[in-house]
Amino acid sequence: MNFSTICFFGLAPLFGDAAPWSSASVLFLVGPFLYLAFLVGSRRLVGDVFRNASPAQSPKRLVPWSVGTAFVVFVCGAVLFPLLAVNAISLLPPSWFPDFSSVQAADPSVVPELANAAERDLATQHPLARLLIRSSATPWAFQTFLLCFFVAVIAAPFAEEFLFRVLFQGTLENYALQALLPPSGTPRRPFADAEPENADGADATADAPQSAASDLLSATEFRWTDPTTPAERRVFYLRSAFAILIPAFIFGLIHAGAPETPEEARDPETLNRLFRTMLAAGLANVATLALGLFFLRRLTGATTGDVGLGPEFTYKAGRCFSSLRRFALDFYRGVAVFAFIAPVVFGVNAALRSFFPNAIVDPLPIFLFALAEGVVYWRIRRYATVVGMHVALNGTSFALLCASL
């Protein structure tokens, strides 16, 4: 979802041109205080993410799927499903979709004037922003608004976090955990009560008690309080950095593109193509999430803990409500984390737009945002938390975009 460059609290357009200045002034004055109050109220919840053995922590565990399986699911979700959705929509009757070109034919001044008035601003905007802005003067403005809201705020965050964090980063984290976990079938080293090395350098953990059940767990998960050597820690952190950087880099890279040309802005069919593309994107995102989870569950035996929902998540009657409540808490934690990093992300985006007004600058701020998501998922492996961060980002950007119409 593209970022808006207008002021974070500049919501006066919501009230129209004839709005009393008092309303805008109240929002401008009260907004920062509400934002700061939210930060203060959420600081402990966000802090749990970065404290070892905190209530937010989950044991890091090996995911059961292989690199090949992850590659197949990722390609299907990122390439195959979008292509199938576009082709399927192209086969449907044109009468099923809005015909924006008919509005231009009936009143040639409507679409061109809207495009020319903001040609410089829209040329480097995300296609969704161009569709929403240019359709606002058409009879299908509300339908377009609902479609864009669904794709940007709901479908895209859930599907993209599944692909890039759960699947992609989760697979790379297996490589990092291999630096800490003992070979499969061997007992764990003594847990937190291990003694330090003797004066002569001999490792005293050999005489530590091995009877505790926590010491005899299979080598599939790592807890932040597990004893490890400094060398193992260094290798683990370096490999973890690789597992976070690569998905974030690719996630930012897919948001790069070429600015819209004046010919495309004046083409009567441009809005029709954008509308169908957004619809195809929404369908592809739904298919990616549903079929991806089904594939991992049935063919690899992945559990709810493996996909970031937590080992306690269940659909069983009587416990479903507690699972949904935990999901909602994790989601809210993601919204709170986003509130802390939003000034950096929006600030970098605004600075880049001021320096490069004719270029698409989305990849860099999105890369920074994806790095933050990667660190959070690496710390707690909670799918709902990174989805909450993504929904908060897209929802804020979408609200500011609507406010600028």
For position 185, what pLDDT does the model report? 62
| Degrees, nearest 5: CA angle 116-256-379 | 130
pLDDT value for 121? 63
Give the lowest-confidence range in 238-242, 269-273, 350-354, 367-371.
Answer: 269-273
Mean pLDDT of the 115-125 span = 57
Spatial distance between the Cα atoms of 54 and 17, rounded to a whole number of angstroms: 50
What value does the mean pLDDT of the chain take? 80
Q: What is the mean pLDDT of residues 327-338?
A: 94
For residue 86, what is the DSSP state? H
CA dist 110 → 103, 105, 401, 402 (Å):
7, 9, 20, 19
Specify whether the backbone of 93 is left (phi greater than 0), alpha (psi in -120 to 50) or beta: beta
In whole angstroms, give the CA distance from residue 53 to residue 223: 8
Q: State CA 121 to chain mean position distance.
A: 25
At 366, is the pLDDT very low, low, confident or very high (cuts 50, 70, 90)? Answer: very high
pLDDT in tens, 161-204: 999 999 999 999 999 998 888 776 666 665 544 344 444 444 44
Handedness of CA 57, 58, 61, 63 (dihedral sign): negative
In this structure, the number of other CB atoms found within 10 A of the CB of residue 399 comes to: 15
Tell the residue number behind the tokens 């996909």, with chain if given.
307
Inter-residue contact 76 to 163 (CB < 8 Å): no
Tokens of residue 221, six digits = 């998960």
Would you say residue 109 has pLDDT above 60? no
* SS3 label, residue 209: coil
Q: Residue 61 in 3-state DSSP?
A: strand
Give the pLDDT band (50/70/90) at residue 219: low
Look at residue 391 and tell me whether its pLDDT is greater than 70.
yes
Predicted confidence (pLDDT) at residue 118 exceeds the cutoff of 50: no
**Mean local confidence (pLDDT), 284-313:** 90
| pLDDT higher than threshold 90 for residue 76 | yes
CB 181 within 8 A of CB 222: yes
